[in-house]
Amino acid sequence: MAVSDSPSGGSTPPHQEQQANSKYGFTKPLSLAGPTDADLQRNNDLDKFLLDSGLYESNEESAARKEVLHRLDQIVKSWVKQLTRQRGYTDQMVEDANAVIFTFGSYRLGVHGPGVDIDTLCIGPSYVNREEDFFIILHNILAEMEEVSELQPVPDAHVPVMKFKFQGISIDLLYASISLLVVPEDLDISHGSVLYDVDEPTVRSLNGCRVADQILKLVPNVEHFRTTLRCLKFWAKRRGVYSNVTGFLGGVNWAILVARICQLYPNAIPSMLVSRFFRVYTQWRWPNPVMLCSIEENELGFPIWDPRRNPRDRFHTMPIITPAYPCMNSSYNVSASTLRVMVDQFCYGNKICDEIELNKAQWSALFQPYIFFEAYKNYLQVDIIASDTDDLLAWRGWVESRLRMLTLKIERDTNGMLQCHPYPHEYVDTSKPCAHSAFFMGLQRKEGVRGQEGQQFDIRGTVDEFRQEINMYMYWKPGMDIFVSHVRRKQLPAFVFPDGYKRTRMPRHISHQAEITGDDATNCYSGPGLSERCIKRKNYSEMVDKKPDKPDKRASISPQRLECVSPESCTGKSGGTAQMSIECIKGVRLAGSTTKDANSNCKIKSSDALPGSGLRTEVADMQISEAGFVNTTHDMLKSRSVEVPNEVSC
């Protein structure tokens, strides 16, 4: 739907209102207002900021991606013809044999940036299977090609994938075998017939493309959607909440959230949509689901998201439902801990957008990086090592995929009193002679709950349970090892800081926040889940220089075991068996909560609501109908504890 050039931002013609109400989404919009002159100016400023931030690829890179996709299409076509010939099919069948390449994810949505990978799907005929033909034969073909590097098959993933680089461009390649002997070149993947007689991994593989196409069909203005999504993905990465594997949100999750805002404000431009995004999701009453359309049932009988029938669905913390059949919760990895962090970040974004609309801040303030290592007093450090970079690539992927379980187990075993904030960024200590990678989690006592003075949390058993799960890695090799340790803020290793040491000066974005919230830290709207914790002035003395040549003593870990003077010293104790040497944590002592709950001071404006009611009421009413189950979902969920879902309990 085109946005009117009129700057009035006032009434909308009746035919436009009728179109907005009937075409997009299944609830009425929250507002039909168009942009004002001020909105148009802010939109121009936002466009310039995104361009200056390097979020758009060059024409040369775009051409290189198209060439890679063309080459990949040729390779899979040749591969299928080869298999058809080997299996004794007729010459006509060999000639007709075909496979096609589809894209999905950010590339298909049109929001990819420079250097990002391309999500691709190969669709082949019914007689070409995934287990042998794709992961063995095609894998071997790719392995022999000079253009291909870093080839990594992941056949046991929730969505089986083959990862590699082709001419330097990262590719994630899925495979789906559909119930056709010949795959037409113009295959309509949105048609339900592609799902006939296929297994669930194939359905999950196909739905990446199907969901992307549905999203583009369900938004009022595709270009406004793309600009808004590009902006919010950049924001999420800067704020440390872009990672599906860690328990935050990935590309499709952010796309659905943005698309829903586009439906609720069909005539808004990107600068308005970004502001409304934070305004709506700071007050969204999770676990009410976000959906772009009604959930469709089908005679094919694949499971769909339905908490009335499926007990597991009742424990999903932040349901974001895909719009293509079979509708699924795309954010099942989100836990109570990561949801808490994201809500804090939504509050942060909402506050900054309010300042931008009052001309008290620029767009750059919204994208200030999240200073994770100034947000907490206590951290868990997870060091991952291997004999070489190839082994580390696979080993790190396995450990990273399990880190969210460590977060859940810690909160479960401490009854939610010890809260975790996993950080999705990887850090590398280049001084180590063996291949190294590290991830960190922030730790804090649950806010608003008084604890016994000096109380410690003994999580040795929790870490040991985590060790046993990591130990199940079937591709373990000598040299692969992992260490878990508790470090305080003063003890953080130098390699996590860009310059190799802590800064003594207060970061400028913290200074900016102090201007917004006042000097008194107790009046800050943000909790420790935000990077800019309002640290009292007396605590700045803790932010001393940390020189790399004078490391502090680390708690609960043996330096000799972590040092890895040679690859041989990094091997497991049991001579090649998958025995992990995880250092158990004796205890974590927290000083207690020092900041207020982030949600308590989130101020929501209601100027964009439809006449006759405030935005809060509109969103609440919309959520009740959006759930699709009236009171059923709410009644089932309100009585449960959201700290630790039962489905991950041991």
| Residue 615 belongs to a domain | no
Q: Is 349 annotated as a binding residue?
A: no
| Residue 28 belongs to a domain | no
Pairing of strands 169-177, 118-124: parallel
Q: What is the pLDDT of residue 24?
A: 72
CATH code for position 406: 3.30.70.590
Q: Are residues 269 and 389 in the same domain?
A: no
- Residue indicated by tokens 């995929």: 401
Q: Are residues 197 and 225 in the same domain?
A: no
Q: Is 123 annotated as a binding residue?
A: no
Q: Is 275 annotated as a binding residue?
A: no
Q: Given 161, 189, 211, which residue is the final one in a domain? A: 211
- Residue indicated by tokens 């590290």: 438
> Active site includes 172?
yes
Q: Is 343 annotated as a binding residue?
A: no
| Residue 159 belongs to a domain | yes
Q: Is 252 annotated as a binding residue?
A: yes
Q: What is the pLDDT of residue 239?
A: 96
- Number of domain units in the chain: 3
Q: What is the pLDDT of residue 486?
A: 92
Q: Are residues 279 and 353 in the same domain?
A: yes
Q: Are residues 148 and 222 in the same domain?
A: no
> Active site includes 242?
yes
- Dmax (CA) for the chain in angstroms is 81
| Residue 563 belongs to a domain | no
Q: Are residues 46 and 127 in the same domain?
A: no
Q: Is 104 annotated as a binding residue?
A: yes
Q: Are residues 324 and 386 in the same domain?
A: no
Q: Are residues 298 and 154 in the same domain?
A: no
Who contacts 31 (Cβ-Cβ below 8 Å, separation ≥6)? 264, 265, 268, 608, 609, 610
Q: Are residues 321 and 223 in the same domain?
A: yes
Q: What is the pLDDT of residue 451?
A: 58
Name the catalytic one among 31, 106, 243, 485. Answer: 106
> Active site includes 106?
yes
Q: Is 166 annotated as a binding residue?
A: no
Q: Are residues 357 and 478 in the same domain?
A: no
Q: Is 557 annotated as a binding residue?
A: no
Q: Are residues 159 and 253 in the same domain?
A: no
Contact 446, 528 (CB under 8 A): no
Q: Are residues 380 and 424 in the same domain?
A: yes
> Active site includes 196?
no
Average pLDDT by consecutive 10-residue portion of the chain (650 residues)? 32 44 74 95 96 93 94 97 94 95 94 92 96 96 95 86 94 95 93 88 92 95 97 97 93 96 97 98 96 86 88 92 93 91 97 96 96 94 92 89 90 89 94 92 82 72 90 88 93 86 49 35 33 35 37 38 36 36 42 37 39 41 45 36 26
Q: Are residues 338 and 256 in the same domain?
A: yes
CATH code for position 126: 3.30.460.10
| Residue 380 belongs to a domain | yes
Other beta carbons less than 10 A from residue 211's beta carbon: 24
**Token duo for residue 546:** 């940390």
**Token duo for residue 285:** 């009453």
| Residue 11 belongs to a domain | no
| Residue 386 belongs to a domain | yes
CATH code for position 271: 1.10.1410.10
| Residue 539 belongs to a domain | no
Which of 320, 476, 470 is CA-nearest to residue 401?
Answer: 470
Range of the structural domain that residue 41 is part of: 35-52+218-363
Name the catalytic one among 39, 119, 133, 354. Answer: 119
Q: Is 172 annotated as a binding residue?
A: yes
CA-only gyration radius of the chain, Å: 26
Q: Given 211, 230, 253, which residue is the final one in a domain? A: 211
Name the catalytic one among 96, 117, 597, 621. Answer: 117
DSSP secondary structure letter of residue 568: G
* Residue-wise burial string across 446-482, b where 16 or more C-beta atoms lie within 10 A, e elsewhere: bbeeebeeeeebebeebbebbbeebeebeebbbbbbb
Q: What is the pLDDT of residue 623?
A: 52
